[in-house]
Amino acid sequence: MKAILTTILVVGAVALLWTVPAQAADDSALIKSKLDMAIDDEYHARAMYAAVIEQFGEVRPFSQIIRAEERHIAALVRLYERYNLEVLADPYTEVEYSFTSLDEAARQARDAEIANAALYDELLLDVTDPEVIRVFENLQWASQERHLPAFERYLNGTQPGCCGNGMGNRANR
């Protein structure tokens, strides 16, 4: 009886050891996929905002939000490093954006921030790691509560900023 019980325990332990790495690999693949989608979106935003700055100069809110996008990318890179995953390369380094006006750029940015917040709703599904959840929720919050309102203020003509006239950058368009 003791031999049978020992055999059952050993077989059970071996089975558990085989399933834990498989589960960890599945979790790692899921995390990698979600991190890739998140960082791709952050790279895209950074490239678009950099193009606005290159075309129109250091205009708010683009000049401020591009710095936030850098911080978002850095937060995601830290998660890649935590999981020993290869960081997705930035596919937007050679992409050229051109805008007919700051208003057009702000509308596209507003729409991108709305899409970004919705993307994080999808990315949060099936994630159980508290650190990944925290980072994704923080990035989503920044899009919804900081970036989106800044672009909406700009489009409404209430962006505080350059001109001292209460109209933000609208006087420069």
Q: Is residue 160 part of a domain?
A: yes
Q: Is residue 105 part of a domain?
A: yes
Q: What is the pTM of this model?
A: 0.76
Euclidean distance between CA atoms 137 and 146, whole angstroms: 13
Q: Is residue 150 part of a domain?
A: yes
Q: Is residue 19 part of a domain?
A: no
CATH number at residue 69: 1.20.1260.10
Q: Given the structure tokens 């937060």, which residue do they identify? A: 75
pLDDT per residue as tens digits for the range 68-101: 999 999 999 999 999 999 999 999 998 999 899 9
pLDDT per residue as tens digits for the range 20-31: 333 444 488 889
Q: Is residue 70 part of a domain?
A: yes
**Domain range spanning residue 108?**
27-172
The structural domain count of the chain equals: 1
Q: Is residue 71 part of a domain?
A: yes
